């Protein structure tokens, strides 16, 4: 996906879960963690039950060393994933959460 095209869609007033999730993951892969966190925060606002958004949101926050916020995002993401039966996402977030909890 072309990040510029997606950002243009957003600028034109299109705003939805998949657009924000895709932009967030693209920014994350480009190591633009601040922008990733912004898009992923919008994604979970659109759909608080989208476990993949919670996972990447927590990861972006962790990369920004916002550990308290990352722990909160992973905890909520685990709760959502388990409620939806998304076992793999819950497992991955538990690993990330455990890493953040280490002294």
Q: What is the CATH number of the domain that holds 90?
A: 1.25.40.10
Q: What is the pLDDT of residues 17-66, one digit of tens each?
A: 999 999 999 999 999 999 999 999 999 999 999 999 999 999 999 999 99
pLDDT in tens, 55-94: 999 999 999 999 999 999 999 999 999 999 999 999 999 9
CA dihedral for 98, 95, 51, 33, sign (positive or negative): positive
Structural domain for 28, as ranges: 3-101
Sign of dihedral through CA atoms 19, 37, 34, 25? negative
Q: What angle do CA 90, 93, 98 make, to 5 degrees?
A: 125
Structure tokens at 102: 């280490």
**For the chain, how many structural domains are there in total?**
1
Give me the torsion for CA of 23, 24, 26, 27, rounded to 10°.
110
């Amino acid at each position: 996906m072309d990040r510029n095209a997606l950002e243009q869609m957003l600028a034109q007033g299109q705003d939805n879960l998949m657009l924000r999730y895709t932009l967030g993951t693209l920014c994350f892969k480009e190591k633009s963690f601040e922008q990733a966190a912004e898009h992923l925060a919008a994604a979970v606002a659109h759909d608080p039950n989208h476990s993949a958004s919670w996972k990447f949101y927590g990861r972006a926050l962790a990369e920004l060393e916002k550990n308290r916020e990352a722990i909160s995002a992973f905890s909520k993401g685990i709760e959502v994933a388990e409620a939806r039966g998304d076992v793999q996402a819950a497992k991955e977030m538990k690993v990330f959460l455990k890493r953040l909890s280490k002294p």
